Structure formats: C-alpha cells, structure tokens
Amino acid sequence: MHDLTQSRLLRWAAFFLFLESTILTLSPAVRERTWNVNYRLSHWIGYFVWLGLILIANRVIARRLPERDPYLFPAAALLSGWGLITIWRLDEGFGARQTIWLSVSILVFCLALYLPKNLNYLKNYKYLLLFGGLLITACTLLFGTNPLGFGPRLWLGCCGFYFQPSEPLKLLLVIYLTAYLADKINIRLSSGPLLIPTLVVTSLALLLLVVQRDLGTASIFISLFTIILFLATGKRRILFGAIAFLSIALFAGYFFIDIIQVRVHAWINPWNDPAGDSYQIVQSILAVANGGILGRGIGIGSPLLVPVAISDFIYAAIAEESGLIGTVGLLALIWLILGRGLIIAIRATDRFRRFLAAGIVTYLGIQSLLIIGGNLRLLPLTGVTLPFVSYGGSSLLTSFLALFILLVISNLEDNEPALLPDPKPFSILAGILAAGIAVCILATSWWAVVRAPDLLERTDNPRRSIADRFVERGKILDKNNNPINITEGESGSYKRVYLYPDLAPITGYTNPVYGQAGLEATLDEYLRGLQGNPSSLIWWDYTLYGTPPPGLDVRLSIDLPLQTRADELLGNTAGAIVLMNAQTGEILAMASHPTYDPNKLDDEGAAISQSESAPLVNRATQGLYPIGDLLSPLLMAKFGNLKPVDSEILDYYNTLGLFREPSLNMPVAPETLNPSITSMRVSPLQTSIAAALLSNHGNLPIPRIALAVNTPEQGWVVLSPDEKPGEMLPSEASNETAQHYIVEGKPYWSHMSLARDGKTTITWMIAGTVPDWSGTPLILVSALEENNVVLAEKIREAILDLAMNE
Amino acid sequence: MSGSIVLALRLVTTFALYGFLGWALFLLWREVRNQGTLLANRRVPGISLTVRNGTASPILKHFAQPEIIIGRDPGCDIPIPDDTVSTRHAQLTYHHGQWWLEDLGSMNGTILNEIALSMPTVITSGDEFVCGSTKISIALSPNVMIEPTQRLDKKNDR
C-alpha cells in the first residue's frame, strides 16, 4: 500500500519534470519566435540522473522501511528535481555540479537507510556529533573561503567543490537539543540548571555564526532553540521571550553590524535605492511580478537578472517562470512535507523521536519561510537556502539527511504513540507554519497580480530592454513616410538605427543602458506596441512570449527636406530653429544644435551626457532664453500705441501661453511660476506658438509633432491633440501688425531682437507668412546663442523660401 | 506557433504539478476513510462480567464494546450502588488485541487476583477483581474476533 502510493506520486513527479525539461528544450524557439534555433539539451543529463537516483532510492526505501510515510519522499524528490532543472536552466555549470551533489546526497541517503533503525546512535553520540560540527564550522574561521571570491567566508573548499559546515550544524543542533531534552522527564522553566547545557551549547554556536557574519543561520538557530524548548516544556512565554530577544538582537545588530543595517534599510524602504543596496530585493520582486499568474514558462523569463538566482533567490526564479500557480504548488509541496512531518512527530513512539521529528520539521519550515519571506520582502533578506531546491551541496545533503531521519521515525511497526501530555505546542507549531505558508501565498499574489502592472512599467525593469531585442520596435517616420528611426537585425539582436542623427535632440533614443529620451520616450507605448494594438493581442503575446506585440509605426509632422535645410543652416552654431504650420500647429522642422549621434551612444554615451555643450537638451522646446524686445509685434497687436503697465503685459503673455508648458508630447521646459518682465525667459517653441497668431488671424495653434500611428486593425489613426485652438485677438489688429512688420519685397513679416544672457548674446528671429498668403500659413522662430544677425537673416530667407515654394 | 505549443505544454505542466498534489490529497483522504472503516469494522471479543455485591444475588452482564467503566455513578456501564466504590472507579478497555483493566484513581483501589492494581494490566478468562467491597469475575468469549488489519488494507486498495 505504502509502496504503491509512493510509486504513483513519483510517477507524477517524473511526468512534471519531463514536461518542464521539454519546455526548457523548446524555450529558445519561443523567445526568438522561429524554429531555427539552438535547442537546449544539456539539462536532460540532470533529468535522467535524477530519474535513476529516485528509482534506486525508491527501491531501497521500500525494502528498508516498509511502513514509512509514503508522501515525504515523493514531495522531496519533486522539489529537488524542480530545483535541479531550474539550476540547469539558470547556469549549466552549476547545473552539472548540482547533479553531482544530488547523486552524492541520495547515495548517502540510501546508505544511511542501512543504519540501525532505532536512531539510538544519534542519542548516544549527541555531544560528539554537535562538537564535531562546531569544530568543523570553527575551521571556516581559519580556512574559510567563498566560492564567489568575495562575501562572508563560510565554506571549506577543495578542488572546485565547496562545503558549508553551518548547514549540517543546524541538523546537529536539532539532534542534540531533542536528545538532551527528551532525557529530562519533567522540565520546568524554574529548573534552570537543567537548561544550562543547552543554553551554553546554543550560545557557543550562535557566537561562532555571529563572528562569521552568517546571520541567516544564526536566526534559524535561535528559532530552533526556542521552538524545541517550547515543544518540550509547553510554556508559551518562551515564544514571547524569544520574539523579544530577537527584536532586541535585531535592534542591537542594527547599530553594531553594518550588514544588518544595510539589510534592514533595504527591507523597509527598497524603492529609495533600487540600484544599490536594495537591488536584489527589487529585482526579486520584479521577477515575481513578471511571472504573473501563469508564469512565463521555464527558459522564457529573465530570472538571471536577480543576483544569486540559483541559491538565495531560486524562489523568485521559479515564481517568474512558473507563476503564482506554480509557486502555490511549490508552497503546497513544502506544506505537505511539514504537515506529514508533524503527524509523524505526534505518532512517534517515544519522546526523543517525537521531539526530533518536530525539530526537523521546524528546521525545514523556518528555513523555507525565512528565505521565501526574504524573496518576497516579508522579512529582511537572510542568505539561507531553500531546502531541497536551492543550489548547494551542503544544503542538499543536510535536507536529505533530515528526510532520512523523518522517514525512519515514520516507519512504525508498533502503532502505539507515546503519551502526549499536552498537544497544544504541536498545534501551535502547525499553526505557525501553516500561517507562514499562507502569508507567502498572499504575498506572492500581491506582487504577481495586484502590484505587477505598476512594477513592470518601472524604468529599472531590465525586461523592457530585453524584450526590445526580441520584438521589432515601431519606426518613426517623417510627414511623407520617410524613415527617421528604424529597427534592424534579427529577433534576439534587434538594434535601433537612427538614420537622421541630427534630429537626435528631438526624436531622442532608446538604449538598454541610457534608457529613453525625446520622442522615443514619449511615444514609447505606441512604438513598443502596448498602445494602439487590440488588448487581446497584447495579452496573447504576453502570455505566449512574455513580450509586447510588434511595435507600431508613428508618423511625425517633420518634413525631412525642410529639416535637412534647417540643420545645414544652423551648422555648428548653438541654437534652435522651429518651423511650424501657423494654423494646425504641425511642426515641420525643429533643429537643436549642438546635436549628437545616438548610433554611437553605446561607446560615447557617458561623454555625450556630460558634455558642457549639453547636446542632449532639446533647445527648441527646453531651452529658455531671455527675450529682449522680441515680442513687441505681439504687444503692438494687442495694445496698439498705448503704454500698458507690467501686470497687463504679464497677463497678456500668460494668455499667450508663454509661461506654461506647451501641450506637445515631448519633453518641454517647465512652467514659469513667478514671471516678471525683466527676467522672463521663453523657449523657441513657446515663442512660435505665440507669434503664430500674427500669421493666423489672431488665433493660437496647438503644436503637434506626432501625427498618426499605423494600427493593424484601422490603418493610420490620427493622434489628435487634446486641446482646442483659441481665438486670442481680433484678426484686424493682428493682420495690421503683420503688415507693419512685413519684409520689403517678401510675402512674410519678421522681427529680430538681441538679448543679453550673462556673457553671451542671444539672437532671436521670428518670421511668418502674411495673413493673406494663399498657401500654408507658416511661422519660423530661431534663437542663436551668439550675436549673429546675418545668420538669422540667412535662415529666415532660406527656410521660408523653400517652405513657401513647396 | 512555438509559443502556442509551449503554452499548451506549460498548462499540462501545471496540470502535472497539481496532479501530484491532488493525488496526494486524494490518497490522504482515502487513508482517513480507510482508517475510519478499519476502526468501525473492528470487532471486540465479547466479555461477560459477573458482579457480586455482598449478599445480593450476582448479576451477569455481557458487553461487545471496547470500553467499560465501572463506578458508583449511574452513567457508568456497570453502576454499583456501593459506598466503597468511587464515582468512576475502574475501566476495562480492549486494545492491542487484549482486554486491559485500569484503576481510574479510585479511593479504595482495585484489586486483581488479590494484588492491588498499579498500572493497566492484561486480564483473561477466570480472573477476578474487587472494587471496594464488590467482586467481579471475568469470562471472555473468544469466538467473536476482530478482522485482521492486513486483509482489510489490501481489500480497499483494489
């Protein structure tokens, strides 16, 4: 009966892992969306070694322990296999090592099954075992290393294999404490002397671990000591005392031990420093969020973004690729082991076996909850492993030895349990562990479902730029559908190419290191396919591939011939040019110099962003310059020959929108909060909107640069501005003013002005078509960061002649 | 295409994981059910007790239950109106294939075959024990036996 149950469960486990391995093999095809890829095969070694070992162990268990609990071993086998395949997926080198460690662990497990079944040797040699463990752990003080080459030196290593003695030390402490306490028949808290040996031994171990900075293991030790003592005495005040002690220890550690301070800060406020101390926890939460409900599928997510995903953060890695539904299964498996373990403890035939089983359940439960809670930001991070699942030979071996002890205790030939004077401590322990599992499920749902949409949109979520390599981004096109920014390459190596680099301050860039700027940033939702596509398509692509659907092309109002001319004219002069349709507000050309080449961002990004000439700034929309008497045509149109007072002028400027942010979906200068006539500064864009009223019969246009987006269902869809243009002035007054400023022999009016800005002089020029011009009404503004009226006139004639003759 | 196939595989994988868990839960449920049936099917060999109290005529009682409580309380299985018997004086229980006699901390103690009872003790046909001034003799009827555990297990497994 037991054998049958165990074999059937193992069959399910093998089926599950077979499917996981198959998905992992196919995963490159999904990522690159083609069948022509290099399939992943190496992890099948891990799968078949696992299968063989499990079959052998199943045989040995059936022969040696006919009456053992049949659920424990299949659950542990599934967890260890799941961990093994996940480690292969994350890092093949570590996968191979873990396969060796699993073989060692299961062979030791099988050999241990041939030891006497009464476990008296554990009881008799408890001091020897514990002090042996302590001694080996103490050796790490002298000979300790860290396989990573930095960090706490907790390992003893030789020939490429490392062993962490503090892992088995936990099990040895459980054995010692339970063996000692089981011998003392009636323990009362008042009988202090009885407890002194356990206190001494536990403190010794703690001291060792605190010196070693192995604080995760130290907190497990305190929990183990407390709970085992609680089980033996049944006094609840021990639990409260331990909570108080842990709080005080945390408080003291916070002030004296740097790593605790860092961890606590990262825990309480991770969003303050997401790139520094809280990097691990933020990335772990992002991985859980990216998993969502179904998970991305093994091999299709990006769990390697989380540091040490193979050991400390393996729960986050599994959550990303198996989703909420998978982690609930994982937690249920852990609960199956813990729950069955507690039943084994209750049914045990003597006190030692009962305490030992309960102690092992405590050890497995506390350690699992500590690290899963750390991954989910329920608890501060502690660098402990997830039993059976995480990478690590010492952890795996210890977990299997713990399993061995539980199985031996469960093998009851005489089913007469020992007397249980007070069942309460056991039900309280079961309650604590069940509540811990439940809280972990809730926290995973919180990050994976409730908070996921917000989290995944964070700019420090590297999955966005990874998706950019696999999904084609939409093109940015000019007015006549000529490409400006396009994506080249094949799935897996897509790269943004900027065909017209001079437009860089306006169209910006999208880069895995430097993020996004300009129109690439403000139009990102369309270019990335998250807006404009039907939501069912977005959902389907995200479910299948974990990426957005192919991006949509966006058409700008920029007219490339005019743009080229404007860039040529500006040349090496710092400044900006804006050419706008005075009626519709469509921006036909927008130049900002000096500019930069976004194609070279990878190599020169740092130099570009730190350059004194600030090429990243879009001078046309973000550059604020002092104004001089540039706006006198506008004053004349409003007030005629009257002399307005300052407050009237400011009110007028305010209605012209000179102090607020123009509604254009790209970065613009912030609004001016306390404007004054003498110190006011405006951007060329703001000036062009205000001045447009002279060429547009007294009406202000709404500026536009992104005209339309090419959606799969409806073709080109116009992106209309939110605002309606407003009538500012009677058209007679504005037309009269335009006539007053008309350029001799030309169909346009113009005004120039020089303004001092510290040591430099700003040359302003505004020009516009006359009101009765039959073609497109145009407004042109240039601001040069030098005293150069000649160039300003040249710009005016060249651009307006070209634009008006089109 | 690859995405849809792998999505189907992912769903089957989830099914396998929950298949494991569901199967484990089903087996656990069946274990509880079997345990219940097992205990319900357990047959207790009948026991006959002859109660002699002073000069009154002896009373013969038959039982087929696993727990028999003797005491002065009228709710006991064998109520004895005798002031030397405690309210709940002693109990007879059947477990581990034996009938056991246990004193329930009575004032005057229970004496089995002229030896004061200090721990649960196995009894057999012909034994005699004394509660206060009441003498009870035991006769077991071995023809009614419980069904063996092993056979029931195997039957339910098929």
Residue-wise pLDDT tens digits, A134-159: 888 888 777 777 766 666 677 776 66
Contact A70 B27 (CB under 8 A): yes
> Is residue B129 predicted with pLDDT exceeding 90?
no
Contact A29 B7 (CB under 8 A): no
CA atoms within 13 A on the CB side of B154: 5
**For the packed helices A535-545 and A2-32, what is the interaxial angle rounded to 10 degrees?**
120
The strand pair at A476-477 and A554-556 is best described as parallel
Residue A237 burial (10 A CB sphere; 0-12, 13-18, 19+): exposed
Residue in A5, A19, A332 nearest the CB of B12: A19
Average pLDDT over residues B63-85: 81
Residue with tokens 């692509």: A541
Question: In chain A, what residues touch B2 (CB-CB under 8 Å)?
Answer: 26, 29-30, 33-35
Question: In chain B, what residues touch A416 (CB-CB under 8 Å)?
Answer: 96
Contact A297 B18 (CB under 8 A): no
Of B12 and A252, more confident:
B12
Average pLDDT over residues A379-394: 89
The predicted-structure confidence for A446-491, as pLDDT tens digits, reads as follows 999 999 888 888 877 888 888 888 889 999 999 999 999 999 988 8
Q: What is the pLDDT of residue A189?
A: 52
Residue A155 is classified by DSSP as B
> Is residue B158 predicted with pLDDT exceeding 50?
no
* Å between B125 CA and nearest CA of chain A: 25
Residue in A19, A78, A543 nearest the CB of B9: A19
Tell me the residue type at A94.
F
Distances (CA, A) of A564 to A191, A519, A553, A798: 92, 18, 22, 12
- What confidence tier does A97 reach under pLDDT thresholds 50, 70, 90? very high
> Is residue A512 predicted with pLDDT exceeding 90?
no
Question: In chain B, what residues touch A71 (CB-CB under 8 Å)?
Answer: 24, 27-28
Contact B10 A23 (CB under 8 A): yes
Q: What is the pLDDT of residue B142?
A: 61
The predicted-structure confidence for A699-733, as pLDDT tens digits, reads as follows 888 899 999 999 988 889 988 877 776 677 788 88
Average pLDDT over residues A12-39: 92
> Residue A332's closest chain B neighbor by CA?
B21
* Å between B4 CA and nearest CA of chain A: 6
- What confidence tier does A121 reach under pLDDT thresholds 50, 70, 90? confident
Alpha-helix residue ranges (DSSP H) falling in A184-257? 192-211, 215-233, 237-256
**Rounded to whole angstroms, how far apart are CA atoms A115 and A281?**
43
Residue in A75, A326, A544 nearest the CB of B3: A544
The strand pair at B90-95 and B98-103 is best described as antiparallel
Which of A356-365, A680-689, B108-117 comes out lowest in average pLDDT? B108-117
Q: What is the pLDDT of residue A135?
A: 85
Please name the residues in contact with A445: beta carbons below 8 A apart, sequence gap of 6 or more: A324
Query: For an interface test with A, which of B7, B9, B17 has the most A Cβ atoms less than 10 Å from its Cβ?
Result: B17
Residue B100 backbone phi and psi in degrees, to 5: -120, 145
Of A422 and A115, more confident:
A115
3-state secondary structure of A111: helix
Q: Do residues A581 and A701 lie in contact, with contact meaning Cβ atoms separated by under 8 Å?
A: yes
Average pLDDT over residues A625-633: 88
> Is residue B147 predicted with pLDDT exceeding 50?
no
Q: What is the pLDDT of residue A160?
A: 63
Contact A5 B5 (CB under 8 A): no
Size of interface A-B (CB pairs under 8 A): 85
Q: What is the pLDDT of residue B150?
A: 43
Contact A26 B24 (CB under 8 A): no
Residue B88 burial (10 A CB sphere; 0-12, 13-18, 19+): middle
> Residue B11's closest chain A neighbor by CA?
A294
Chain A residues within 8 A (CB-CB) of chain B? Answer: 1, 4-5, 8-9, 12-13, 15-16, 19-20, 22-23, 26-27, 29-30, 33-35, 70-71, 74-75, 78, 294-295, 297, 300, 322, 325-326, 329, 332-333, 336, 416, 543-545
Question: In chain B, what residues touch A29 (CB-CB under 8 Å)?
Answer: 2, 6
Residue A417 is classified by DSSP as P
The predicted-structure confidence for A544-598, as pLDDT tens digits, reads as follows 888 889 999 999 999 999 999 999 999 889 999 999 998 888 999 999 989 999 9
Distances (CA, A) of A770 to A23, A589, A690, A738, A742: 68, 20, 15, 6, 8
> Is residue A104 predicted with pLDDT exceeding 70?
yes
Number of H helices and E strands in chain B, helices first, is 2, 11
**Rounded to whole angstroms, how far apart are CA atoms A524 and A552?**
10
**For the packed helices A279-291 and A258-268, what is the interaxial angle rounded to 10 degrees?**
40
Question: In chain A, what residues touch B157 (CB-CB under 8 Å)?
Answer: 1, 4
- Helix, strand, coil percent values for chain A (each to nearest 5): 55, 10, 35
Question: In chain B, what residues touch A545 (CB-CB under 8 Å)?
Answer: 3
Contact A19 B24 (CB under 8 A): no
Residue A760 is classified by DSSP as E
ipTM > 0.90 (yes/no): no
Distances (CA, A) of A98 to A260, A302, A390, B24: 30, 21, 9, 27
Average pLDDT over residues A358-374: 95
Residue in B2, B13, B18 nearest the CB of A19: B13
* Å between A548 CA and nearest CA of chain B: 13
Question: In chain B, what residues touch A295 (CB-CB under 8 Å)?
Answer: 10
Of B53 and A446, more confident:
A446
Q: What is the pLDDT of residue A150?
A: 65
> Is residue A789 predicted with pLDDT exceeding 70?
yes
- What confidence tier does B104 reach under pLDDT thresholds 50, 70, 90? confident
Q: What is the pLDDT of residue B11?
A: 93
Average pLDDT, chain A: 88
Contact B7 A544 (CB under 8 A): yes
Nearest CA-CA partner of A594 in A572, A609, A579: A572
Average pLDDT over residues A499-517: 88
Q: Which two tokens stand for residue A588?
A: 């036909």
What are A717's strand-pairing partners? A709
**Rounded to whole angstroms, how far apart are CA atoms A600 and B41?**
84
**Rounded to whole angstroms, how far apart are CA atoms A316 and A377?**
11
> Is residue B151 predicted with pLDDT exceeding 60?
no
Q: What is the pLDDT of residue A123?
A: 84
- What confidence tier does A642 reach under pLDDT thresholds 50, 70, 90? confident
Residue A41 is classified by DSSP as -
Contact A26 B6 (CB under 8 A): yes
- What confidence tier does A380 reach under pLDDT thresholds 50, 70, 90? confident
Average pLDDT over residues A213-223: 82
> Is residue A25 predicted with pLDDT exceeding 90?
yes
Of A628 and A417, more confident:
A628
Residue A775 is classified by DSSP as S
> Residue B27's closest chain A neighbor by CA?
A5
Question: In chain B, what residues touch A294 (CB-CB under 8 Å)?
Answer: 10, 14
Of A10 and B81, more confident:
A10
Tell me the residue type at A780.
L
* Å between A101 CA and nearest CA of chain B: 24
The predicted-structure confidence for A413-445, as pLDDT tens digits, reads as follows 666 677 777 788 898 999 999 999 999 999 999
Q: Do residues A86 and A297 lie in contact, with contact meaning Cβ atoms separated by under 8 Å?
A: no
Residues B13-43: b if buried by 16+ CB within 10 A, e if exposed: bbebbbbbbebbeebbeeeeebeeeeeeeee
Query: For an interface test with B, which of A2, A5, A72, A343 has the most B Cβ atoms less than 10 Å from its Cβ?
Result: A5
Q: Which two tokens stand for residue A115?
A: 């030891």
Question: In chain A, what residues touch B3 (CB-CB under 8 Å)?
Answer: 30, 33, 544-545
> Is residue A499 predicted with pLDDT exceeding 90?
yes
> Is residue A746 predicted with pLDDT exceeding 60?
yes
> Is residue A186 predicted with pLDDT exceeding 70?
no
Q: What is the pLDDT of residue B88?
A: 83
Of A276 and A770, more confident:
A770
Question: In chain B, what residues touch A335 (CB-CB under 8 Å)?
Answer: none
Query: For an interface test with B, which of A2, A4, A23 has the most B Cβ atoms less than 10 Å from its Cβ?
Result: A23
Q: What is the pLDDT of residue A82?
A: 96
Of B39 and A800, more confident:
A800
| Top-ranked range on mean pLDDT: pick from A267-271, A328-332, A756-760, A794-798 | A328-332
Residue in B3, B14, B21 nearest the CB of A545: B3
> Is residue A520 predicted with pLDDT exceeding 60?
yes
Residue A778, H or E segment: strand A778-784
Q: What is the pLDDT of residue B146?
A: 43
Residue A742 is classified by DSSP as B
Q: What is the pLDDT of residue A414?
A: 66
Sheet holding A575-581, edge to edge: A587-593, A575-581, A778-784, A760-769, A748-757
Q: What is the pLDDT of residue A37?
A: 87
Contact B10 A74 (CB under 8 A): no
The CA angle A590-A591-A596, to the nearest 5 degrees, is: 130
> Is residue A17 predicted with pLDDT exceeding 90?
yes
Torsion of the alpha carbons at A311, A313, A314 and A316, rounded to the nearest 10: 180
> Residue A74's closest chain B neighbor by CA?
B20
